[in-house]
Amino acid sequence: MTCHNCRTKCKKFGKTRKGQQRFRCCKCLKTYSEAKNEYLGGMYTPPEQVEAVIRLLVEGCSIRSIQRLTGVHQVTILKILELAGSRCERLLEEKAHQVPVKDVQCDEIWGFVGCKQKRNYDDDPARGDAFCFVAFERHTKLVLAWHLGKRTARDTVAFTEKLDQATQGRFQITTDGFAPYFDAIHTSLGTRVDYAQLIKVYESSGIEEHRYSPPKVVEEIIKPMWGRPNPKRICTSHVERHNLTMRMQMRRFTRLTNGFSKKWENLGYALALYFAHYNLCKVHSTIRCTPTMEAGITDHVWTIGEMMGDSR
C-alpha cells in the first residue's frame, strides 16, 4: 500500500471491523484500508467460501446443511444465492441468444412456494403452486429458456417469448397437451416452427400409490399441430428426464420435505443458478462436454469462479 499524498510506502495498522487490513503512512500519518473485494458485488465473505457455498447449492444441499458444512450464516447464504442468481440470469440470457437449434422439447415442472395452492386461502400470487417452464434442445442438451410462473396462458406466452429470443431459424418443437401452448407458440414463434403435441394418458391409481410413485402411461397420442413435424422426433422424454435432474440438483423441488421455497424470489434465484451451472459448468454424461460447448457457444468448461465473474 502506497500513500496517495506522499507516495511513500505505508505500514500495516490493524484491521477494520469487517476484517480488512488497514495501513498508515509513516510521513503524513494518514490511514487507508485495502481495496474492497469486488467479487460478487463486493461481499466481505472470502471468494473461496462463496464458491464453496455455490458449489453446495448446485449439488442440492439445503440452506441449513450448507450452514453446518461451511460455517456461513444462513442470511449470508441467501444473500450469495440472490447475487449469484441475479448474475446467472443475465449471463444465461446473454449466452443463449439466437442459437441455431433443430429439435426443442418443452415441459413444466411443478413446485410450490410457502404452501400448496389449496392452502393458499388469500390467493397470494407469490405463494402456492409454482411451475417452471423449460425449453430443452434434444441434441445439444442445452436449456434454451426457462420461466417461473403459474400454469396460465399469460405465463406460457412469457415463456415462448423468451424461447423466441433464444433461438433462430426453423426447428421442430414438441410439447405436452397443455392447451395454452397452441396460442402461445403461434403468437411468439409463428410458422417458423414445425409444432406437434405428445399427449400421454396415465392409468388411474389409488391415492397413496399416486403420491409415492408416478402413474403408468397407458397411451401416447401424437397430434401434429402445424408445419411438417417429423413423427420420429415427436418426443418429450428428454426434457422429462431433465426434470428428474432438476429435482435431484435442487433441494427446493424435493417432494414430501420442508425444503421448499418460502419466497418466490429465492426460487427464481435458485433456478437461474442451476440453469447457468448446468449449461456452462456441468459435463453432460451423454455428450461428454457441457451443453454450451456442444452448441458452439463456449469452448471450454467454465468454473464456478468464472461464472461468477471472478477475475483473480
The pLDDT tens digits of the residues spanning 61-87 come to 999 999 999 999 999 999 999 999 999
**Distance spanning both ends of the chain, measured CA to CA:** 19
Pick from 163, 214, 209, 218: which is nearest to 186 by CA? Answer: 163
Q: Does 127 lie in the same domain as 203?
A: yes
Q: Does 96 lie in the same domain as 22?
A: no
Q: What is the pLDDT of residue 13?
A: 83
Q: What is the pLDDT of residue 38?
A: 59
Helix ranges (H only) for the chain are: 47-58, 63-70, 74-95, 153-166, 180-188, 207-212, 237-249, 264-280, 291-294, 304-307
Angle between helices 74-95 and 264-280 (to 10 degrees): 50
Pick from 67, 144, 69, 151: which is nearest to 105 by CA? Answer: 144
Question: Does residue 230 fall inside a structural domain?
Answer: yes
Angle between helices 63-70 and 47-58 (to 10 degrees): 140
C-alpha cell at position 88: 446467472
Question: Does residue 57 fall inside a structural domain?
Answer: no
Q: Does 202 lie in the same domain as 246?
A: yes
More confident residue, 257 or 68: 68
Q: Does 269 lie in the same domain as 150?
A: yes
Q: What is the mean pLDDT of residues 216-238?
A: 92
Q: What is the mean pLDDT of residues 217-227?
A: 91
pLDDT in tens, 152-198: 999 999 999 999 999 999 999 999 999 999 999 999 999 899 999 99
pLDDT in tens, 97-140: 999 999 999 999 999 999 999 999 999 999 999 999 999 999 99
Q: Does 194 lie in the same domain as 125?
A: yes
Q: What is the CATH number of the domain that holds 67?
A: 3.30.420.10
Q: What is the pLDDT of residue 7?
A: 77
Tell me the pLDDT band of 208, cut-offs 50, 70 and 90: low
Cβ(1)–Cβ(7) below 8 Å: no
Query: Structural domain tally of the chain?
Result: 2
Domain that holds residue 137: 63-307
Question: Does residue 105 fall inside a structural domain?
Answer: yes
What amino acid occupies position 206?
G
pLDDT in tens, 110-119: 999 999 999 9
